[in-house]
Structure 1
Amino acid sequence: MRLLRFLRSSVSIGKNIDFYSRFSPSPLSMKQFLDFGSENACEKTSFAFLRQELPVRLANIMKEINLLPDNLLRTPSVRLVQSWYMQSFQDILEFKDKNADDEKVTYDFTDAVIKIRNRHNDVIPTMAQGVVEYKEAYGTDPVVSQNVQYFLDRFYMSRISIRMLLNQHTLLFGGKVKVNPAHPNQIGSIDPHCGVSEVIRDAFGNARNLCDRYYMNSPELILEEFNAKEEGKPVTVVYVPSHLYHMVFELFKNAMRATMELYGDAMEYPPIHAQVALGSEDLTVKVSDRGGGVPLRKIDRLFTYTYSTAPRPSIDDSRATPLAGYGYGLPISRLYARYFQGDLKLYSLEGYGTDAVIYIRALSTESIERLPVYNKSAWKHYKTMHEADDWCVPSKEPKDLTTFRRMKVKERLNSALISRWSHPGSAASHCFVAVQVQQLLAIDSLCAYGRLLLDEDGSLSLSLSLSPNQEKGIHVGTEVMDSAGDRFPPDSSSNSADPLDIRSVIVFLSRVADVDRECWAFLCGLPPPDRFLLLLLVLFFSFLQGSS
């Protein structure tokens, strides 16, 4: 009976997730948060909104979790996160048909919201651990890594938005005291007159304490304000102080670490500059350091989850808490900035320093939640295989120019030609094609049997690996014999080293009766990039024959 009830419950939850995921989340503006908390703070209204909105936001992101690779979903950490979301979804659905006028119902709902908030405290490190477990077990794949990066941006943004709703409700209605003594001017987690410089100084002080503990010294701060709207007055904005604190604390931490590690045991360190500018549309915070900067090719990596310029710290490290090593600081900080339609950007001068700029909307009416939506476009992103770049993009790592051309040709031929010539649905389980090339573009000759690899033996051979009942190996080199024992080309001798005419090779292959027709059609139907490379080989051999 218990198993039957469990199965029925699982089916019911799945149907509810499918139902709520069809709805798009309802983004709120900072002004709506503010107006509701200050003028119309009604627990019944908040309850009515959250019991509809929370299942929608949870269901949307839960559908995306299910689109992750199966091996990632099987990791213990990801399964734990899924169980948290499933339990929270069930907890909210219990209030779907409850009477909003019943005080006990609203009290129980607030208690459930607090439990959900506490349950999700460790979502970020737990999901991060799941990604680490997956990479350690299965390695890295470019397509999977790109999809995981896309998912984590949306997953953590969804978490920020859900936590914002939970915090607003619990701070406004979760205690006997409606006003927080520590922050009497805040409405929930929002400060209608957030002093930007005050938050910056607080974040710098805590980052400096951390730096002093780890490096035994720290740089100074030079802070400047520019208020274009009300000259001479402090810069304030309607914002969530904890979000701003998180962003600037991360930037100060990075700036201090870069400065301290560049200048080592110097007696003095260049100060960190922070500038705050308020305009008609944007509030901008710039943090500048002279920590040596970052190469352009590494800028994008700084926003990649699990990437860090510092070694991952050991759990058993007896030293003070390190300043870096986990790789989630900048990506999460950028999500906080983007949550209310802002952004975080890095501008670096390698050899000098880095400028980190936070953009925040100055108007509360324009600070609107940025929320992920599960729809066909999102589904396609996970299911569509990403094609090659349509621009000629060099490798991000510096190359040894003496071997660059050789390796580049090897990579392109291996990936663009051979990787697509396996046809599992055909009677011929594998079909590989290559041609003899001598001194192609002054690069070592190529050789292939099943794959194209550079070699020094001066030859590249053609072979078809057929199914066991069709084993008729065909080798195109200085001499080729067909199934009847006829020589190909007919006038060639066993010691001939003349370059082969690839057109004749193709004609010869097409008349080999035992080659599976479906496999041959697959070869002829290669994507344009592969056909283009074959065409280049045809033209090359035509040129060789014309010049001989």
Structure 2
Amino acid sequence: MRLYRALFRQARALIEERLDYYSQFNPSPLSMQQFTDFGENATISESFLFLKKELPVRLANIMKEFHLLPENLLHMPSVGAVRDLYRRSFMDLLEFDTGNTPNNTATLEKFTDALVKIRNRHSDVVMTMAQGVMELKDAHSINANTEANIQYFLDRFYMNRISIRMLINQHTILFGDSINTQNHIGCIDPHCDVVRVIEDAYANARFLCDQYYLASPELILTHHNADKNPVSVVYVPSHLYHMLFELFKNAMRAVVEHHGPASDTFPPVHVLLVMGQEDLTIKLSDQGGGIRRSLMDLLFNYMYSTAPQPAVSGLDTPPLAGYGYGLPLSRLYARYFHGDLQVTSYDGYGTDATIYLKALSSEANELLPVYNKTCQRQYSTPVQTHDWSSQVHSAMFIRPFSTTSRNKHEQKSS
């Protein structure tokens, strides 16, 4: 037992030493153009040489941030399970980044197999981490600083995960056993048919809506300034589908519940597709009653949902509703290649959700979290309080004089 403990401490010390080393380096963001050029021209050997350095750097940068999280959260079982998964994957990759690793066929095949294993190992990380946050909420009260730190970390943690899966998928699809039958470059479609993805996402969300409510709104799709038919962009179709499916689910649920499932007709969901010089814009508009302005800031908060949590409500939860991660994760997918997702609401009427994508693949660069002093300060800086009172704020900064106070003011002036 004593020997086991000594070996365990030695292994943990080695991991921390390597984490310190790799976290010194910034991850290297790639553009969509670089991804496609690399996918068309690079060899498996070149991909191996890049990834065996880059993947440990990306893992180390986010793993170091775990140390900055509140102690209570780190002690949650699910968070501990996620940390263990990342340690195992980090150690698996270190096996290939040694000076004596031969760059031969056997090593390349072993590396590809290791990437598949890592991807499968991390398949449930999103919900496991979500469970960890729920465990914390159930066990402890969370103050504003803790909530802000968790929100900041999860945005960076999930964005890091998206980027790592992107690298792994590119390598395993290009150089693994899967057969490319769609003329994609890895998981990237150089001619992604945006209309087709919109229609697929709508059809699948409508199927769920019909299953639960026995009704659903129609889709009206409008093009503007789209001189190419079909409208295409260099993009990852699965990322775009993820965003659109989430927005359609939210819109349909809002429309049907706002107007009542027994209604004879529902106002359609309008989608406007615009191709500009810099941006491809997709605006999805519904008449589902909108969202109160007091709740708008919560839309992109993790674990906030307008529907009951499935774990609590069981079979009565609509399949269109989720754990509250849909919008925050969709915005991360949009921002990953320097796009964005914005929501505007008209309380009592409906909601507009707008996806912005870079129209030019050379400008669509990865947005990656970096572990540095600025990041560390973010966790230690307390949430600032407002520098005016709520009463003054609600009165647009100036509280009007009452008749009595005005008379006194005039007397003093005279």
Q: Same fold (TM over 0.5)?
A: yes
Distance change in 2, residues 1:57/1:395 (3 Å) = farther
Please tell me whether residue 261 in structure 1 is matched to residue 257 in structure 2: yes
Structure 1 match to 2:241: 245
Distance change in 2, residues 1:236/1:153 (3 Å) = same
Structure 2 match to 1:223: 221
State whether residues 51 and 92 of structure 1, in contact with CA within 8 Å, keep that contact through their aligned partners in structure 2: yes
Structure 1 match to 2:286: 289
What is the percent sequence identity of the aligned residues? 57
Structure 2 match to 1:72: 73
- CA–CA distance in structure 1, aligned partners of residues 310 and 245 of structure 2: 19
Residues 319-468 of structure 1: matches in 2 within 5 Å?
Answer: 322-393=319-390
* Aligned with 2:229 (options 233, 238, 241): 233
Structure 2 match to 1:47: 48
Distance change in 2, residues 1:232/1:189 (3 Å) = closer
User: What's the offset of the Cα at 1:102?
Assistant: 1.0
- CA–CA distance in structure 2, aligned partners of residues 366 and 130 of structure 1: 36
Distance change in 2, residues 1:316/1:145 (3 Å) = closer
State whether residues 160 and 369 of structure 2, in contact with CA within 8 Å, keep that contact through their aligned partners in structure 1: yes
User: What's the offset of the Cα at 1:296?
Assistant: 1.7
What SS does the corresponding residue of 1:303 show, helix, strand or coil?
coil
State whether residues 144 and 383 of structure 2, in contact with CA within 8 Å, keep that contact through their aligned partners in structure 1: no
Structure 2 match to 1:273: 270
What SS does the corresponding residue of 1:83 show, helix, strand or coil?
helix
Equivalenced residues, count: 390
* Aligned with 1:207 (options 196, 205, 208): 205
State whether residues 227 and 235 of structure 1, in contact with CA within 8 Å, keep that contact through their aligned partners in structure 2: no
**Structure 1 stretches lacking a partner, 5+ long:** 399-548
State whether residues 27 and 371 of structure 1, in contact with CA within 8 Å, keep that contact through their aligned partners in structure 2: yes
What SS does the corresponding residue of 1:52 show, helix, strand or coil?
helix
- CA–CA distance in structure 2, aligned partners of residues 283 and 266 of structure 1: 35
- CA–CA distance in structure 2, aligned partners of residues 385 and 142 of structure 1: 9
Structure 1 match to 2:190: 192
User: What's the offset of the Cα at 1:317?
Assistant: 2.9
Superposed CA deviations along residues 340-399 of structure 1, whole A, max 9, x for unmatched, are: 000000111111110000000000000000000000011011112233223445699x9x
Superposed CA deviations along residues 293-325 of structure 1, whole A, max 9, x for unmatched, are: 112221111100011111112468345862114
What SS does the corresponding residue of 1:26 show, helix, strand or coil?
coil
What SS does the corresponding residue of 1:16 show, helix, strand or coil?
helix
Bigger Rg, structure 1 or 2: 1
- CA–CA distance in structure 2, aligned partners of residues 395 and 125 of structure 1: 42
Distance change in 2, residues 1:395/1:161 (3 Å) = farther
State whether residues 148 and 383 of structure 2, in contact with CA within 8 Å, keep that contact through their aligned partners in structure 1: no
Please tell me whether residue 3 in structure 1 is matched to residue 8 in structure 2: no
- CA–CA distance in structure 2, aligned partners of residues 29 and 171 of structure 1: 18
- CA–CA distance in structure 2, aligned partners of residues 90 and 248 of structure 1: 36
Please tell me whether residue 13 in structure 1 is matched to residue 36 in structure 2: no
Distance change in 2, residues 1:232/1:377 (3 Å) = closer
- CA–CA distance in structure 2, aligned partners of residues 68 and 61 of structure 1: 11
What SS does the corresponding residue of 1:144 show, helix, strand or coil?
helix
- CA–CA distance in structure 1, aligned partners of residues 328 and 187 of structure 2: 22
- CA–CA distance in structure 2, aligned partners of residues 201 and 344 of structure 1: 19
Please tell me whether residue 168 in structure 1 is matched to residue 170 in structure 2: yes
Structure 1 match to 2:180: 180
User: What's the offset of the Cα at 1:224?
Assistant: 1.4
Distance change in 2, residues 1:5/1:394 (3 Å) = farther
Task: For 1:131, give the aligned amino acid.
Answer: V
TM-score by length of 2: 0.91
* Aligned with 2:143 (options 141, 144, 147): 141
Task: For 1:73, give the aligned amino acid.
Answer: L
Structure 1 match to 2:63: 62
Superposed CA deviations along residues 410-467 of structure 1, whole A, max 9, x for unmatched, are: xxxxxxxxxxxxxxxxxxxxxxxxxxxxxxxxxxxxxxxxxxxxxxxxxxxxxxxxxx
Bigger helix fraction: 2
TM-score by length of 1: 0.69
- CA–CA distance in structure 2, aligned partners of residues 254 and 394 of structure 1: 34
Structure 2 match to 1:26: 28
